[in-house]
Structure 1
Amino acid sequence: MPEAARPPARPTRGTIIPTPFRRPRARTATLLSTTTILGLLLTGTGVTAATAADAPASSTTAPAIAPFDQAVLDAPYPSNSTYDFVPMLDSFTALKADRPDIMKLNDKKTITINQAATKAQSARAIVDQYADMSITMSDGLGKDLGEIYRTAREAGQLPKTDALLAKNGGLVGKYSSTNPVKTYFDNPRPYVAFPLKLKYRDKPNGNAWAGRDGSYPSGHTSQASWQGTALATMLPELAPQILARASDAGNNRIIMGAHYPLDVMAGRMMGQKIVERRWSDPSFRTLFEQASTELRTVLEAKCGAALAVCIAKDKPYLPTAQALKVYEQRMSYGFPLVGNEGEPMTVPTGAESLLISSHPDLTPEQRRQVLALTAIDSGEPLDAGTEGSWQRIDLPAAMSAKVVVTADGTVSLVKPGKR
């Protein structure tokens, strides 16, 4: 993806929303360990196995789908413009200068996750290293739907979806690169800083440790995040599972010894900002809507039933509650707080657009309230950005939330995973 020069001015900070129903920060001790979660993601522990009789009947013929016209792909969308991602990630500068304890813990967590990975987890991390993650994360859709999606993508039967999500040239992230941001922060990768403390894993003749660019933020994680977030907005019914799988791709960068947890957290934030810019652009939003229609049409035709029926009969990547827990833990990786708890949530400007497909009947302000009510608590290491707190946004919780709106139009209650 092309590099872009930083613009002279920083964007406007998001609005501050009091959050009387703010969710408390989930402490690592009350959740599963990183190693256990990785095992769950790979083995499906706790997922009820689907029988052959439960599997939806599939069609061998995909419906005829037309790609986007070239003029649509080449159009000068406002969201193609250069964007400076440094301000939203600049908490890292203060951490490096003032919090050696956090930086040392960042190293320690990297070594622990890298050393603890199993052979199966390592193999999966290697796949994500080189492949198009918008395809490898197909398992996030479920056993049957994931296979349908992967086969259709590889067969060229989802041209609109491919045009938006593909690793090479996918329009959602085409004009957004981590390279300028990496250069700005200039932090050495783990395999450069302490290679002897890490396990090297790679494919034959691979180059997993060849790069000498900066580690912060993680480029692979940013890409997995924008690919996964975009896919989740196209299939909001499966948002918790898809986004948990995207977080798995980010965690794989630590397994590879290529990145630290703080890199992965920042990459997730940047990836979601990339998708927000696209959804906040009305002219580009229509491309998401058309690709979503294409994707749903193909999934239903191949599955042989309505999408809701196919999802209900499928074996999920993870149960919704477990997917939400996995994702939430990786929002902070168990770092100690560096700021005050209980601060009002500053919802970044435009972030509400990420809930358009999951909550189409809410107003923009109500969507912002949902983001505030599902956010994790304040004080996290990357919380103190100048554009609102992207670290605190728990997107799968917000997208899957059952929302209660009072008579005066305010959101009074949200129940993640109950939509």
Structure 2
Amino acid sequence: MRHFALALLTAATLAFSPAQAEDAAPFTSAKSVDLQLFLKPPPADDSVQTKAELGEVLTLQVTRTPEMEAKAKADAEENVWRFADVMGPAFKPEALPVFSAFFDRVVATEGAVVDPAKDSWKRPRPHQLSPLVKPVVKISNSGAYPSGHTTVGTLMGIVLSNMVPEKRVEIMNRAWFYGENRIIGGIHYRSDIEAGRIAGSVIAARIMEQQDFQTEFAAAKAELRKALGL
């Protein structure tokens, strides 16, 4: 029995290893959620709106504090553990293997839906449009619109707040700042963030209708609430 229990523990550890997280299957894709049907095209590069949004990025570049820069750099990471500051000390991967695997799929869903839209619109990033922009986060040259980080932050926030409605306000505030930090970091325009919030909401609404999502959501929710003592 002891050897059997050890084998189960080893299998569980392998099942939720970081390497496998990268291979998580998305809950849906752009074939089912075509963002070009939900979002208007991004502003043109030479439009008044883009020029104003570029001005916001440049203003933040000279007004952001070291603390703001540090938070923007930290939020460049795309995973649900960025919500730990509002979820408390029990919110950690080693305590939540089922929850962790579930959110690996949630994060993978963002890329599967958003990347095709980015590739289609190909909006230049602020630093690609103006040499004056100096991002403090990791440079990305993929399409700027919509913001993938904001999409996944909004999506994770909605799903997580449905698991812990007692913290809904704090969770959604955290999700909002997750998107804002992309502007502060100098890697996105305001309209990219706004589109990401719409995209995350649309994706959440769609996948919550699916049976596979509902089944895994229930198990992840139960594990999380038990870990949090709720």
- TM-score bin (small chain): 0.7 to 0.9
Hey, which of these two has a bigger chunk of helix by percent? 2
For 2:131 and 2:176, locate their aligned partners in 1 and report how far apart those are by CA, in whole Å.
24
Contact 2:78 2:107 in 1 (8 A): no
CA deviation profile, 1:231-270 (whole Å, cap 9, x unmatched): 1111111111111111111111111111001101111211
- How many residue pairs are counted as aligned between the two chains? 207
Q: Residue 213 of structure 2: SS of its match in structure 1?
A: helix
- Distance of aligned partners of 1:219 and 1:104 in 2 relative to their CA distance in 1, 3 Å threshold: same
TM-score of the pair, normalised by structure 1: 0.45
Aligned AA for 1:111? L
Q: Could you tell me which residue of structure 1 aligns to residue 81 of structure 2? A: 135
CA deviation profile, 1:360-412 (whole Å, cap 9, x unmatched): xxxxxxxxxxxxxxxxxxxxxxxxxxxxxxxxxxxxxxxxxxxxxxxxxxxxx
- Distance of aligned partners of 1:284 and 1:191 in 2 relative to their CA distance in 1, 3 Å threshold: same
Q: How does 1:5-404 map to 2 (within 5 A)?
A: 80=28, 82=31, 83-89=33-39, 91-93=40-42, 95-96=43-44, 100-129=47-76, 131-141=77-87, 146-149=88-91, 152-153=92-93, 156-165=94-103, 170-175=104-109, 176-196=112-132, 198-202=133-137, 208-209=138-139, 211-300=140-229, 307=230
CA deviation profile, 1:333-366 (whole Å, cap 9, x unmatched): xxxxxxxxxxxxxxxxxxxxxxxxxxxxxxxxxx
For 2:181 and 2:175, locate their aligned partners in 1 and report how far apart those are by CA, in whole Å.
10
Contact 1:232 1:242 in 2 (8 A): yes
For 2:218 and 2:49, locate their aligned partners in 1 and report how far apart those are by CA, in whole Å.
42
Q: Residue 196 of structure 2: SS of its match in structure 1?
A: helix
For 1:106 and 1:220, locate their aligned partners in 2 and report how far apart those are by CA, in whole Å.
18
- Distance of aligned partners of 1:239 and 1:124 in 2 relative to their CA distance in 1, 3 Å threshold: same
Please state how far the C-alpha of 1:195 moved relative to its aligned partner. 2.9
For 1:114 and 1:266, locate their aligned partners in 2 and report how far apart those are by CA, in whole Å.
22
Please state how far the C-alpha of 1:190 moved relative to its aligned partner. 0.4
Aligned AA for 1:92? P
- Distance of aligned partners of 1:200 and 1:110 in 2 relative to their CA distance in 1, 3 Å threshold: closer
For 2:190 and 2:206, locate their aligned partners in 1 and report how far apart those are by CA, in whole Å.
25
For 1:238 and 1:255, locate their aligned partners in 2 and report how far apart those are by CA, in whole Å.
25
Instruction: Report sequence identity in percent.
Output: 31
Which sections of structure 1, spanning at least 5 residues, go unmatched? 1-63, 203-207, 301-306, 308-419
Q: Which has the larger radius of gyration?
A: 1
For 1:268 and 1:223, locate their aligned partners in 2 and report how far apart those are by CA, in whole Å.
9
Aligned AA for 1:259? H
Q: Residue 172 of structure 1: SS of its match in structure 2?
A: helix
Please state how far the C-alpha of 1:140 moved relative to its aligned partner. 2.4
Aligned AA for 1:157? A
Aligned AA for 1:279? M
Please state how far the C-alpha of 1:186 moved relative to its aligned partner. 1.3
For 1:218 and 1:127, locate their aligned partners in 2 and report how far apart those are by CA, in whole Å.
16
Contact 1:172 1:278 in 2 (8 A): no
For 1:231 and 1:217, locate their aligned partners in 2 and report how far apart those are by CA, in whole Å.
22
For 1:261 and 1:251, locate their aligned partners in 2 and report how far apart those are by CA, in whole Å.
8
For 2:205 and 2:64, locate their aligned partners in 1 and report how far apart those are by CA, in whole Å.
33
Q: Could you tell me which residue of structure 1 aligns to residue 19 of structure 2? A: none
Q: Residue 111 of structure 1: SS of its match in structure 2?
A: helix
Contact 1:128 1:252 in 2 (8 A): yes
Contact 2:34 2:113 in 1 (8 A): no
TM-score of the pair, normalised by structure 2: 0.80
